[in-house]
Amino acid sequence: MPAILAYLLHLATAVAMVMAFFVLYTRITPWDEVALIRQGNRAAALSLGGTLIGFSVTIASALTHTDDYYEFAGWSALAMLVQVLVYVVATRMLRVSKDQIEADNTGFGGLLGAISLSIGLVNAGSIS
Distance CA 70, CA 88 (A): 27
- The pTM of the full predicted model, rounded to 2 decimals, is 0.90
Q: Which residues contact 48 (CB under 8 A, 6 or more apart)?
A: 25, 26, 33, 37, 113
Q: Which residues contact 20 (CB under 8 A, 6 or more apart)?
A: 80
| Segment 54-110, tens digit of pLDDT | 999 999 999 999 988 999 999 999 999 999 998 889 888 887 777 899 999 999 999
Distance CA 27, CA 98 (A): 13
